[in-house]
Every structure is written in structure tokens, then in C-alpha cells.
């Protein structure tokens, strides 16, 4: 006898403007699908049928994102609970970095809180996957959106002077993810 359970899902709807956008979205889905950790939002797959839109299907996070969670619960959260959330985020970030994935857009809205209180990292819209055998100059972005300034490392705001020194554009890194984690720490604790 087969046991059926209801599982809530969410869909991130993406406008398919060009083939290169579709290619970036598929790369994001493949990256996310290979990551298996309690503090990383799973990706079930993707679906079409929304006209020019496709959707990435993931589990539903009953408590929403960190920013809205804090708006609802802030006065009632103990410091112990706040540090539990930070530990979850740090564990997820460590897992990403161990697997050569840069989140690139680590913000309060991109941390989801499940019904059991577990925090997980989501929305790898700026994930930068790199290989130890490939130079960072050959690695590619999965999105061109530059994130939210509140959590953005200052070095990501500047533009290189390509005419003078032929530098590559500054890309998110493990260091910029750690800077963003500091922004989340401030958001949670102060």
C-alpha cells in the first residue's frame, strides 16, 4: 500500500527572454539540484506552462524569509534562537563553499525559515560555480543582478578601469559571501 503525503511547494517564476537566460536558469537548477544539505533549499525541478514563463519548483518554507520572519517575531526571539538561525546559515554557507559554490546574493530575503525553525539558503540567482581546475576568469555567473546593497560587500560596487589595467569585473567570492553573512548577523542580533 502506497502512503501519500502532502508536501507544500513553492515556484520561482522566471521570464524567458532569450536562450542565454534559459541557459543560465538551467545551469542554476543543475547547481542547486546537486546540493544536498539541511540548510540549503532543495530544488525539485522546473516546469513550463506559464506562457513566456518557466518556474523552479522547491519545498515551501512555512515561516517565509528571514526578513519577514524577523518583522513578525523579532520581539519574541531569544538570543539563543537568533544564534541557532545564524548557525544554520553558517552551516549552509560552509557547505556551499566546500562544494565550490559562491552564493553571491546572501541576503535576509534569500534565507528561508521552515516550519520546524530550520534556516536554509535559497535563491542562487548569483551563484558562481567554479572549479579548482578552472581559473575564476573562465567561471560564469548564473545571473547579472547585483544583489541588495545592504548585504553587498563594498568591493562588488566598484567597476574596474579596463582601459588602464585590463582587469576583470569584480565577482562575488567566498570573502564577499562572508561579508554578507556579517550583514545578516547584524540584521538578526541588533
Catalytically annotated residues: 105
Helix (H), strand (E), coil (C) string for the chain: CCCCCCCCEEEEEEECCCHHHHHHHHHHHHHHHCCCCCCECCCCEEEEEECCEEEEEEECCCCCEHHHHHHHHHHHCCHHHHHHHHHHHHHHHHHHHHCCEECCCCCHHHEEECCCCCEEECCCCCCEECCCCCCCCCCEECCCCCCCHHHCCHHHCCCCCHHHHCCCCCCCCHHHHHHHHHHHHHHHHC
Amino acid at each position: 500500500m502506497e502512503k501519500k503525503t502532502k508536501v507544500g511547494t513553492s515556484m520561482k517564476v522566471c521570464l524567458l527572454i532569450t536562450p542565454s537566460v534559459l541557459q543560465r536558469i538551467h545551469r542554476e537548477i543543475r547547481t542547486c539540484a546537486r546540493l544536498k544539505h539541511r540548510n540549503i533549499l532543495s530544488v525539485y525541478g522546473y516546469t513550463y506552462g506559464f506562457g513566456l514563463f518557466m518556474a523552479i519548483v522547491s519545498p515551501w518554507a512555512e515561516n517565509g524569509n528571514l526578513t519577514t520572519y524577523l518583522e513578525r517575531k523579532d520581539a519574541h526571539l531569544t538570543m539563543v534562537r537568533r544564534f541557532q538561525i545564524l548557525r544554520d546559515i553558517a552551516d549552509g554557507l560552509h557547505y556551499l563553499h566546500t562544494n565550490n559554490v559562491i552564493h553571491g546574493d546572501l541576503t535576509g530575503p534569500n534565507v528561508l525559515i521552515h516550519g520546524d525553525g530550520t534556516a536554509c539558503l535559497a535563491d542562487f540567482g548569483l551563484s558562481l560555480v567554479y572549479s579548482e581546475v578552472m581559473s575564476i576568469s573562465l567561471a560564469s555567473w548564473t545571473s547579472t543582478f547585483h544583489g541588495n546593497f545592504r548585504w553587498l560587500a563594498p568591493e562588488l560596487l566598484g567597476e574596474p578601469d579596463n582601459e588602464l589595467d585590463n582587469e576583470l569585473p569584480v565577482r562575488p567570492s567566498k570573502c564577499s559571501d562572508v561579508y554578507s553573512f556579517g550583514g545578516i548577523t547584524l540584521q538578526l542580533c541588533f
